[in-house]
Structures are given as C-alpha cells and as structure tokens.
Amino acid sequence: MHATWMSFRSLTADQSVKNQKLKAGTLGRIISFAKPYKISLIFFLITVVIDAFLVVATPLLLRQLIDEGVIPGNGELVTKLAFAVGLIALADAAFNMIGRLFSARIGEGLIYDLRKLIFAHVQRQSIAFFTRTQTGALISRLNSDVIGAQQAFTATLSGVISNVLSLILVTAAMLTLSWQITVISLCLLPLFLYPTKWVGRRLQDYTRQSFNLNAEMSSTMTERFNVSGALLVSLYGDPKIEKESFGSKARRVADIGISIALLNRIFFIALTSIAAVATAVAYGVGGHLAINKSITVGTLLAITALLARLYGPLTALSNVRVDVMSALVSFERVFEVLDLEPMVQDVAQPITLKSSKPDVEFKNVSFAYPKADEISLASLEMVAKAELVDSGVVLKGINFVAKSGTLTGIVGPSGAGKSTISGLIPRLYDVTDGAILIDGQDIRNISISSLRENIGVVTQDAHMFHDSILNNLKYANHDATLSEIEDACRSAQIWEMISALPNGLETIVGERGHRLSGGEKQRLAIARLLLKKPSVVILDEATAHLDSENESLVQAALKVALAGRTSIVIAHRLSTIAHADQILVIENGAIVEKGQHEELIAKKGLYFDLYQKQNIQSDLI
C-alpha cells in the first residue's frame, strides 16, 4: 500500500521539473545539510533495507508452509511456520515504527534548520528587498519549498531505495519460483502503466490549476482580511462583486476537487482491477503448471503473493526522476534565497559605536535607489518586469552637520528626498557616493547592530505588532522593568490612557495598532523610543496627520524624547521645527537653503513660500 501511495503521489508532481538543470554544486550543498543527521540517516536506511527483505520473506514462508506443512500433514511445521510469519509481521511493524522515528528526526530536523536559516537570512536583507518581494512568495519558501526539500532525505530517498530493492528481491524470488509466470506477469506491465500514465497527466494538470487557484484565493484573503484591506473594501468595495469574484475561484477549486476525487477512484479501481487480472492470469497459468507438477501449490500461492508486491514499486520507479528532481528543485529554490546577499552588510572588522552624544555629519552624500536585479529575486515577485523608469539620483551632494544635543529640521516639497535622508542614517540603505559620519566614524565601518542600537526612529505611521502594549514597548528593550516602562509612558503622555484601560499594559493593540487612535499610537511609539534610550533620534513626519489636540500631546512627549539627544526631525508642519538649531530646506535632492527659522523667513526663498502656504491653509481652516 505504501508503494502504491508513493506512486500515486508522484503522479501529481509537475513533470516539467525533470527537464530543469540544477546549478553546479547543488548536490554538494544538499549533502552538507544531511551531515548532522548521518547517524539517523544510516539507521533509517537500514530499516528500509530490512523492511524490503521482510516483504519477500512472508510469501516464501507461505510456500514452505503449504508444500512442506499443509499438504504432507505436518502439523508441527505448520505451527512453527505460522508462528514465524506472525513474528515477521511484528518485526515488520517494529522496523516501520523505528524507521518512522528516524525519518521524523531527519525530516523535522532539516525543516527546523532550513527555516531558521532562511528566517535569519531574510531578516538581514535591506529594506529595498522587502519593497519588491511578495510576502506570500517569501513565506512559501519557508513552508512549501522547505518541506519539499526535506522529502529528498525521507520520502524520496527511502522510496527509491525501498522500491529498487523490493523490485530486485521480488523479481529474483519470482524468477526462482517460476520464470514462466514471472515473464507473463512482466508482459502485463504495460496494461498496468498505461492507465497510470493517463491518470497522471490529468492529475498533474488539475493539481497545477488547483495550486494556482488556491494561491490566488490566499492572496485575495490576505489582502482583504488585514485591517487596511478590510477598511478599503468597506469604503470602496462592492460586496456583491467581491463575493462573486471569490466565489468563482472557490467554485473552480471545488470542481477541480471533484475531478481529482474521480480520477483518484479511477486510478485505484484501475490499479486493483489490473492487479486482479494479473493475479487471475498467474493462477490460470500457475494452476496448469501445478497440475502438471511443474510447480507446487505452495509455489503458486507464493508467486501470486509476490505479484501483488511487484507493480507498486515498478510504477513508483517509472516516476522516480520526477520525484528526485522535485525534491532537488525545492532545495535549489531555498538556496536561491540563501544566496541573495544583503545589500547592507558589516565590514570584516566593524567597530562599536560607544559615544552617548555623537555628531552626525553628511559629507557630499549622493544616493540613487538600487535596481530590482540588485535587491530581489524575480521568483519572489508576483509580477517580475524590468523597470521602465530608473529612479535616478535622489540625493545630490548633501552636506551638513547635526551637532550633538541639537535639533536639525528638514523640510521641503513632497518627493524632495527628506525621508531618504532619514533612511540612510541607520543604514537601511547605503550611500551611493560620499559618506555619513557619526562621532567622526564612517557608519559603514560601524557594526550595524551597534549603529541601530544608538538610533531611535519614529515614523509617520508607527508600526505596532498584534500584541499587548507591554510587549510592543519591550520590543525596544527586552530588559526594561515595569518602573522604567511606566516612566517612559508618563514622559510620552500616554500613561493615563493606558492605566485607564481594563487590561492596562496587557491590552492588545490589534493589527498594526489599529485599536489605538493616531495620537495614541504615536505617543506609544515615543515611549518605545524612550525605552531604547538612543543617542540619535530621527522623527519622520511624526505629527503630520494628527489633530491639534493630539499634536500638542505628541509635541509635549517629543520635548522629553529630544532633550539632550542629537535630533533630526523631518517636518511637514513648519511650526514643529521653528525652534530648531538649524533647518535644511531640500528641493530635488539638494539642500537649497540652510539656517534658522527667522533667517530663512528673511531670505524669502522656498522656506518662506512653504511657510506662507501653510499660514494661508490655516486661515482657510
């Protein structure tokens, strides 16, 4: 039955994989993953070999039981042989259990190793990688492809060895018992394989369609079931169209499921029917041979028992190339992710940033966003197309110094490059030309972990995990005490709100923090920043979309957060940086004005224009 199921499973595999070319060195890398499990692998293969021998042993004992026990009337021998058959059955069950144990250790261990390795590697990728990669495709590498890879060492390897050995032993035993019946049985093999191949082709097509449709449905549900997607559907979607669109895909999946179920039944009926015909032929031919005394009755029964163990391995081995290549291709898809080097990496011997009051200096910094082929894999993008427009140089020759303990404001029109500056300081990207210095050191020479430990960022839409307030805060400092958390929340003007909640710090904030208001979420983000205790603070339009009441609370929280720290504040509202020690005005990726608020107003340049527009808008409101 196991061989039959394995042969059926291989029928659903995509036949196109057998034509794929593996990269040089793939097999060597696969073997390296097996090394930690070599002892378990050896014992697993031993159980597979023993099981194959036990498969042949029972029919041969049955022959001896009939010919030397039942027919001569030797009751003692019948008892002994029947007892031996029972012991073999128990031994077979025991070795199957032992084999399953070793198989599970190897398979689950390999899955654990690969998932941990991929997860850690993906987290090291630059932000640019995530801007292009489809999350679902990436998760598939951690699930489907990893599981497909581990089958190389469990189902595929054991299946090939077991089927090859069983086929050799069964064929040899049958030829020894009766070459005539064996040859006739093998001649019937095409009748067995033809319906198998026909069903296989249909199943492959249906399985491929089912996978694609299920992937589409999963993508639709992922987009519609997160908070932002659900909000968009509620405000703009047509429930009838949404229901019909999803329903049509679900109906096609259901229809394919019905077709697959029918094909399954056709396959097993055809398999059992042809096996029954082969058995009938064996009994017919063997019966005549037994009558003519060419073979014994026990031999006839043994051959028919062995015959049932012949076609399963033959069918499975007819698809062995597909099974092997499917497993190897899964490994290659995993390696494809592991081989994608992060764009931002530590140098060979990075230094540790220790200064608590560092200066931040931009020295002739220019930057262009990396191209798709430099940061992502086409196979991880839903629609992989060449870029039609190059992003070009986003920043051009940026020079400024943010002195320790001072506040530097950055303003400018939308798309000027303000947020790009904020992303370069913690090395979310690396500069194209020039250098960024912190405490006199090029940040590319500072370890990434050390650099980011010293930088705190609050963005326009601060992200929160679907977890408790406490865990979201402790994400910045896992060792923070409850007293430190309360102090940070009080400084961030959020403690009164938290303490008024029924569950306090254990309150779940919801996906992306959607159970909180915009102002509450921003103040919680500031409390998180305070717990981190960074020496450099970056605010990227942290108050852009807040009402006046929430803005005043957030501004009060920010005064505490910025005090004594090197602060860089990207502002949409000029009022938030009017008191800054210096203000940089960015336009088209370059600094066009620099100075303090009153100086820039007096120049009557771009800053003055932005200031006037905001005053006019405020008057209209």
End-to-end Cα, the chain, rounded Å: 77
State CA 137 to chain mean position distance. 7
Cα distances from 572 to residues 263, 325, 578, in angstroms, run: 63, 55, 12
Q: Examine residue 170 and state whether it is found in any structural domain, yes or no.
A: yes
In the β-sheet with 360-368, what is the strand arrangement from edge to edge? 393-402, 360-368, 433-438, 441-442
Beta bridge partners of 410: 570, 584
Q: Residue 293 is encoded by which pair of tokens?
A: 């005394």
Torsions phi, psi for 350 (to 5 deg): -70, 155
Dist. CA 149–CA 156, nearest whole Å: 10
Task: Please report, as a single letter, which amino acid is at residue 406.
Answer: T
The answer on pLDDT for 555 being more than 80 is no
Q: Residue 230 is encoded by which pair of tokens?
A: 């659900």
Instruction: Verify that 464 and 602 share a domain, yes or no.
Output: yes
For the chain, what is the radius of gyration of the CA atoms?
35
Instruction: Verify that 189 and 330 share a domain, yes or no.
Output: yes
Provide the CATH number for the domain around residue 498: 3.40.50.300
Model confidence pLDDT, tens digit, residues 30-73: 888 888 888 888 888 898 888 888 888 888 888 888 888 888 88
pLDDT at position 363 is 94
The answer on pLDDT for 92 being more than 60 is yes
Q: Which of 335, 315, 380, 388 is nearest to 6 (CA)?
A: 315
pLDDT at position 402 is 92
Instruction: Verify that 411 and 560 share a domain, yes or no.
Output: yes
The answer on pLDDT for 435 being more than 90 is yes
pLDDT at position 380 is 62
Mean pLDDT over 593-613 rounds to 88
DSSP string covering 22-82, please?
PPTTHHHHHHHHHGGGHHHHHHHHHHHHHHHHHHHHHHHHHHHIIIIIITTT-HHHHHHHH
Instruction: Verify that 589 and 497 share a domain, yes or no.
Output: yes
Instruction: Verify that 60 and 199 share a domain, yes or no.
Output: yes
Model confidence pLDDT, tens digit, residues 273-298: 777 787 888 888 888 888 888 888 88
Q: Residue 176 is encoded by which pair of tokens?
A: 């020894």
E strands of 412-466, at which residues?
Answer: 433-438, 441-442, 455-458
| Band of residue 354 on the pLDDT scale cut at 50, 70, 90 | confident
Domain around 113: 2-338
Mean pLDDT over 472-500 rounds to 88
Q: Examine residue 184 and state whether it is found in any structural domain, yes or no.
A: yes
The helix/strand count (H/E) of the chain reads as 25, 10
The answer on pLDDT for 170 being more than 60 is yes
Mean pLDDT over 512-531 rounds to 83
Q: Are 454 and 358 in contact (CB under 8 A)?
A: yes
Q: Examine residue 616 and state whether it is found in any structural domain, yes or no.
A: yes
Around 224, how many Cα atoms within 13 Å sit in the side-chain half-sphere? 16
Dist. CA 90–CA 86, nearest whole Å: 6
Among candidate residues 311, 338, 365, the one where a domain is terminated: 338
Q: Examine residue 459 and state whether it is found in any structural domain, yes or no.
A: yes
Mean pLDDT over 171-186 rounds to 84
Dist. CA 84–CA 269, nearest whole Å: 33
- CA dihedral (233, 245, 223, 415) in degrees, to 10, reads -70
Percent of the chain scoring above 90 in pLDDT:
8
Q: Which of 335, 420, 423, 319 is nearest to 379 (CA)?
A: 335
Among candidate residues 289, 311, 338, the one where a domain is terminated: 338
Q: Residue 451 is encoded by which pair of tokens?
A: 């650099």
The enclosing H or E element of 427 equals none
Cα distances from 470 to residues 456, 503, 505, in angstroms, run: 18, 11, 5
Show the CA angle centred on residue 332, arms to residues 330 and 334, nearest 5°: 75
Instruction: Verify that 324 and 196 share a domain, yes or no.
Output: yes
Task: Please report, as a single letter, which amino acid is at residue 124.
Answer: R
The answer on pLDDT for 256 being more than 60 is yes
Average pLDDT, the chain: 80
Q: Which of 186, 153, 191 is nearest to 170 (CA)?
A: 186
Q: Examine residue 7 and state whether it is found in any structural domain, yes or no.
A: yes
Among candidate residues 320, 338, 356, the one where a domain is terminated: 338
Q: Examine residue 358 and state whether it is found in any structural domain, yes or no.
A: no
Task: Please report, as a single letter, which amino acid is at residue 532.
Answer: K
State CA 204 to chain mean position distance. 24
Provide the CATH number for the domain around residue 189: 1.20.1560.10
Instruction: Verify that 58 and 199 share a domain, yes or no.
Output: yes
Name the domain count of the chain.
Answer: 2
pLDDT at position 136 is 66
Q: Residue 452 is encoded by which pair of tokens?
A: 């980011």
pLDDT at position 561 is 74
Model confidence pLDDT, tens digit, residues 436-473: 999 889 999 999 888 988 888 888 778 888 889 899 89
Model confidence pLDDT, tens digit, residues 96-136: 889 888 888 888 888 888 888 888 888 888 777 777 776 66
Q: Examine residue 361 and state whether it is found in any structural domain, yes or no.
A: no
Instruction: Verify that 170 and 290 share a domain, yes or no.
Output: yes
Q: Examine residue 343 and state whether it is found in any structural domain, yes or no.
A: no
Range 18-49 burial, b when 16+ CB lie within 10 A, else e: beeeeeeeeeeebeebeeebeebbebbbebbe
Dist. CA 327–CA 331, nearest whole Å: 6
Instruction: Verify that 292 and 411 share a domain, yes or no.
Output: no
Mean pLDDT over 419-446 rounds to 91
Instruction: Verify that 309 and 414 share a domain, yes or no.
Output: no
Instruction: Verify that 326 and 452 share a domain, yes or no.
Output: no
pLDDT at position 446 is 92
Cα distances from 119 to residues 95, 122, 373, 507, 550, in angstroms, run: 35, 5, 21, 28, 38
